[in-house]
Amino acid sequence: MTDKPKRQGAGMRLRNYFLTGLIIVAPLAITAYLTWSFILWVDGWVKPYIPSAYNPETYLPFSVPGFGLLTALLLITIIGFMTANLVGRSILAFGESLLDRMPLVRSLYKGLKQIFQTVLAEQSSSFKQAGLIQYPRVGLWSIVFIATSTKGEVDHKLPAEESISVFLPTTPNPTSGFLLFVPRKDVIILDMSVEEAAKMVISAGLVSPDYPKTLPVKSEPETNTAA
């Protein structure tokens, strides 16, 4: 005789339904909340500087959320267009020369500018690959994000022939971590995307991307059919 599988009780089924619904609703609710909060934050900064004649809320009996964000995006695009020509570059160079005369502001501005240029440059390959390195000791492996090839004095003084700069994130907060300079030969490049690697770090390994493995098909041994 075979034992029949036990049916789940009503309480267990309700619990499973709740957890399933929570998995679906919680990410959507958190994403919507963060997006809405960001829109309102930008609106709070930009809207006070918009002239009343160009603000639709002057003519409408209700507020228009997101208008400040759209205005900010438009202004940033216009500034980028203006600085793409000779006149704009000359004005920008003059402004940066003024900042160079301010000791504290100069260091802050140059540091932030270098970070944004590195991260947002179209030619940059920063954080487009994830990898594995042995850290904090041999035999233990950690996920890292590939930043760029090591440059400057650090690259010149490192004993390795070719080194790369990697960012080692912490769990469950991947925005904090360590900058490491690792020989390229010691880094195993992963097929998963940076987003998938970040999810794995945040979830402490509970969320892992699918990795289909194609196994070679074993051929059946030939049988001799001798007459």
> How far, in Å, are 11, 12, 68, 188, 199 from residue 4 at the CA level?
20, 18, 63, 48, 39
Q: Is residue 217 part of a domain?
A: no
DSSP 60: S
Q: Comparing C-alpha atoms, which of 143, 148, 145 is closest to residue 129?
A: 145
Query: Which tens digits make up the pLDDT trace of 163-191?
Result: 999 999 988 887 789 999 999 999 999 99
Q: Is residue 153 part of a domain?
A: yes
Q: Is residue 197 part of a domain?
A: yes
Q: Is residue 68 part of a domain?
A: no
Report the chain's mean pLDDT, rounded to a whole number.
Answer: 82
Residue-number span of the structural domain to which 149 is assigned: 129-202
Tokens of 20: 């399933």
Q: Write down the pTM of the prediction.
A: 0.53
State residue 37's pLDDT score: 93
In a 13 Å sphere around the CA of 227, the CA atoms on its Cβ side amount to 0
Instruction: Give the pLDDT means over successive 10-residue stretches in the chain (227 positions).
Output: 62 86 89 92 90 86 88 89 81 84 84 73 66 93 90 87 90 86 93 89 86 54 48
Q: Is residue 158 part of a domain?
A: yes
Q: Is residue 20 part of a domain?
A: no
Query: Which tens digits make up the pLDDT trace of 100-122?
Result: 888 888 888 888 887 777 666 64
Q: Is residue 19 part of a domain?
A: no
Q: Is residue 211 part of a domain?
A: no
Give the number of domains in the chain: 1
